[in-house]
Structure 1
C-alpha cells in the first residue's frame, strides 16, 4: 500500500478525500462516525513519505476540509458583500488556500515524531495542538474542529470534562488506531479503540445542577432582508416587525431577546423605541437586544444591551477580521479599496465584562462569531448561570454555515452545562439545554417568536474550571513522547 500511495498519487487523493470526508461529520450531515474514518485516511496518507510530501498532503487535506466545509464564504462575500461573482470566487479560493496551510502543521509535527512506537498518540497530539493553534493564530478561525461534531455521539461526556480539544484528541487517536490496526493487521488494537468510545458512556455529562427557579423566555426572529435592512424603509420595517412580534408573543415572558443588530440604527436613535417596548412588558421583565453603539470618541461597538430594572451592556470582544475590522490596515486598506471590497472598522470590548442580568439569570454573552471560541465562552460561563448568544446568520444565506454555527453553540452549552439561548435574525434561533441538545427551535427564514422555559444552573464543569489547558497538555505530552522516542532511536543507530 505504501508503494501505491507514493507512486500513483493515491496518497494525495486520499489526503484530499480525508479532508472532504470530515465535513460530513458536522451539521447538517451529522455523520460523526466518519470522524475516525477521515482521520484514519489522513494517517495512512502520511505513512512512509518525506517531509515535503507530508506538507503537500497536509495542505491537500486542508483544501478538502475547507473547500467543502467552508463553502459558505462565497455566499457571504458575493450575495451580501456587494462583490462580483468572479472576485468573490477568487477570494473564496484564496481563503481556502490560506486556511489549508493550517492542516500542514499536524502533518509536519507528526512526521517529526513518526517512526516510533508512540507514533499513534503523536498523531493525535499533533492534530489537537494544531486545532488550538488555528483558534489563536491571526485572531483564530476555530471552525470545523473535529470535536464539534460530537454533541450527540458517545464521546459527548468528554466535552464538559476537557472541552472540544479533548474530544478532537480522542477522535484523532481513534483514527490512528483504526488505520494502524488495518494496515498491520494488529487486531488487538481494536480493544483500546473500543475503550475510547465505551468509557465515555460511563462518565457523567452533567456536572452542574439546576436551581428551583424557572424563567420564561421569548426569542424574537424578525427575518429581515439583509440588503435593504439599513435603508430608511428597512429601518421602519425592522421597528414594526419586532414591535409586532413582541406584542403578540412576548408580553408574558420574564426575558425577551432580540438578535444581533435587530434594529438597524445606533443605540441613541433606538433607545426611545426600546424603552417604549420595555414599558409594555411586566414590571419584572427584561428586554435584551443587539445594537450598534458609538462612544464619545466616535468608535462603534457591536453590542448587546439589557433594559428593565437591571440595565447593562456587553460589547463584542472578539471581532471578525475583514468583517468588523481590518488587520494590517496600512498595508491592505488601499488594496481592498481598489477592488471595492467592503470593510468594517469596529472597536472591541474589554475582556472583563460582567454578565447581563435578568431576574435570577446571570447571562454570559457571546455575539455571533464569539460562540465558536471555547475558552472565551468558558470565561463567560464561569460567572454566569446561563448563556446567551445573538447572531445575524443572514450573511450565510441558505448555506450549511448557520447549521455548523448552531452545532458549535450546542457544544458550548454542553462544555459548560448551561442553558443557552440563541436569537438570530432568520435562524437558527433555538433554546439549548445544558446537555447540548436543542430543546426548541424556531422555523428558519420566517418571522417567529420562540417561547420556552429555562433554569439557572449552579456549579461548574471541570472544563469551566480549568479551560482547555489540561487537554492541550495531554496532547503535548503525547506528541513529545513520540518525538523523544524517535530522537533516541535515531541517536542510538547513529554511527
Structure 2
C-alpha cells in the first residue's frame, strides 16, 4: 500500500506543474521520486496517474460535444492513457535497464522518448513535455531560445539528478550555464526589441458556444454580431485584424454567401486574418488561415499537421466513423506549403490549433516571419486543464522563436504574448470582445 500511495503521489506531483495551478516547482520533487524508484511498477502507476489526470479533460469533447457514451469514452481514454504510460514511462525504463543501468543515463532515455513521442505514431503527441515548465522559471525561461523545449527537459532532469546524488559542483555548473545562457538570450532580445517596428493589432474573440458551432443553423445566428465586432475593431484603425479558427459558418470560396461577401467588404478598411474551412479540388476540405485585403485574397496557409481522430481517421481505425457520428464524413486534407503569409512589412507564421505544439513546424513557419499568429478554438474542452496546457505552448513558442505570439481563440483566452513569454493582455474565457494592442514585428 505504501508503494502504491507513493507512486500515485508521484503522478500527482507530475501533473500539478502542467495544471492551471502552475505549481512549476513541484516538477523537481516529482523527478527526484522517479530517480529514487526506477522500477516498472512505480513508473507505471505514477505515469498512468499523471497522464490520466492531466488529459481527463479530453473527454469533454467526446462526451459533451461528440455524443459518445461516457462509459465508452472513458474506456477508450483509459486505453490511450495506458499507451502513453507505457510509451513515455515504461519503455524508456526498459531500454535503460537493458542498455545502461547507470542512473545518470535515465534522463537521456526519458528525454529521447519525449522527442520520439512527439512525432510517432500518426504525427505524434507533443504534449506534457517537461521542458514546458521552464516558461515559469525566471531568467532560465529565456534559454528556451537556444535549448528548445526538449533541451530544457533534459536540463531539468539533470538538475534533479545532481540534487539526488548531492553533487554540488556539477549542479552549480549546470545552474550557472542555464542562468548565463538565459541572461545572454534576454540581452539579445532587448536589443532586438529596441529596433523592431510597431504595428497595432485587433484580436476578435468570437465566444461562440461549441454546441452552436456544431450546426450551421445555430452557428449562423452569431454571424451578424461577429461582423459587428469586426466593425468595432476597425474603428481602432489597426494594421491587422485577426479572428480565430473556423470563425464563420461559410466557406471561404462561397461567393454566393451574403455574410461572406459582407466580411470581404470590411477588408477594404484593414487586412483581415481569419480561420475558415474551405472545399477545394472537388470534395477536399481544408482547415486554413486566410489574409484578405481590399476584397481580395492576399495569402493563405493550409493546416499541415492534422489532429488524428479529430480531423482525420488514420489506418486502421476507419471503423470508428461508423461508431461515432461526430467523426463521420470526409477527412481533412493536409496542407503542403510552409511559407509565411506576407502583406507589406508583415510576415505571418500561422500555425493552427494543435500545430503550435510542434517545435519543428513552428520554427520552420516562423523562420522568415516576424510575427506568429495562432488561430484556434478550445471550446471543445471548456475552461479546463486542456485549454490551459494548449495556451502554455504559445508561451513556449514565443520564447523559442523570440517573437510576439497572437493567440486568437474562439472561446479564450485570446491574448498577446511577448517574446519573453509574458502575457501582456488577454480577454477572459468566453467573453465576446476585441483586444487592441501595439506589438512589434521581430525580424528573423
TM-score, structure 1 length as denominator? 0.82
Matched positions, count = 434
Distance of 1:291 and 1:206 partners within structure 2: 39
Q: Secondary structure at the match of 2:61?
A: helix
Q: Which runs of 5+ in 2 are unaligned?
A: none
Q: 1:227 to 1:351 in 2, by over 3 A?
A: same
Aligned to 1:34: 26
Distance of 2:240 and 2:82 partners within structure 1: 44
Rg larger for: 1
Aligned to 1:132: 115
Q: Secondary structure at the match of 1:169?
A: helix
Distance of 1:382 and 1:235 partners within structure 2: 36
Aligned to 2:398: 413
Aligned to 1:488: none
Aligned to 2:202: 218
Q: 1:125 to 1:297 in 2, by over 3 A?
A: same
Q: 1:324 to 1:335 in 2, by over 3 A?
A: closer
Distance of 1:287 and 1:321 partners within structure 2: 29
Distance of 2:375 and 2:183 partners within structure 1: 34
Aligned to 2:423: 438
Greater RCO structure (CA 8 Å; 6+ sep): 1
Is the CA contact 1:216–1:255 (under 8 Å) kept in the aligned structure 2?
yes
Distance of 1:109 and 1:192 partners within structure 2: 29
Aligned to 1:203: 184
Is the CA contact 1:324–1:344 (under 8 Å) kept in the aligned structure 2?
no
Distance of 1:151 and 1:266 partners within structure 2: 37
Q: Secondary structure at the match of 1:87?
A: helix
Is the CA contact 1:422–1:430 (under 8 Å) kept in the aligned structure 2?
yes
Q: 1:414 to 1:190 in 2, by over 3 A?
A: closer
Q: 1:64 to 1:273 in 2, by over 3 A?
A: same
Q: Secondary structure at the match of 2:219?
A: helix
Q: 1:204 to 1:335 in 2, by over 3 A?
A: closer
Is the CA contact 2:321–2:329 (under 8 Å) kept in the aligned structure 1?
no
Distance of 2:326 and 2:277 partners within structure 1: 22
The partner residue of 1:150 within 134, 141, 145 is 134
Q: Which runs of 5+ in 1 are unaligned?
A: 1-7, 47-53, 460-495
Aligned to 1:326: 313
The Cα of 1:353 is off from its aligned counterpart by 3.1
The Cα of 1:114 is off from its aligned counterpart by 4.6
The Cα of 1:37 is off from its aligned counterpart by 1.5
**Does 2:226 match 1:242?**
yes
TM-superposition CA deviations, 1:170-229 (whole Å, max 9, x none): 111112222222xxxx66665446546544454323645244421111111111121222
Q: 1:187 to 1:414 in 2, by over 3 A?
A: closer
Correspondence list, 1:219-368, <5 A: 219-251=203-235, 252-269=237-254, 273-280=259-266, 283=269, 285-308=270-293, 311-328=298-315, 331-338=316-323, 340=325, 342-343=327-328, 345-368=330-353
Distance of 1:281 and 1:444 partners within structure 2: 27
Aligned to 1:480: none
Distance of 1:366 and 1:206 partners within structure 2: 28
Aligned to 1:424: 409
Distance of 1:131 and 1:412 partners within structure 2: 17
The Cα of 1:441 is off from its aligned counterpart by 0.5
Q: 1:157 to 1:223 in 2, by over 3 A?
A: same
Q: Secondary structure at the match of 1:458?
A: coil
**Does 2:60 match 1:75?**
yes
Distance of 1:188 and 1:207 partners within structure 2: 28
Q: 1:335 to 1:142 in 2, by over 3 A?
A: closer
Q: Secondary structure at the match of 1:453?
A: strand
**Does 2:1 match 1:14?**
no
Q: 1:230 to 1:89 in 2, by over 3 A?
A: closer
Task: Report the aligned-residue RMSD.
Answer: 2.3
Q: Secondary structure at the match of 2:84?
A: helix
Distance of 1:341 and 1:282 partners within structure 2: 38
TM-superposition CA deviations, 1:309-332 (whole Å, max 9, x none): 56111110000000000011xx32
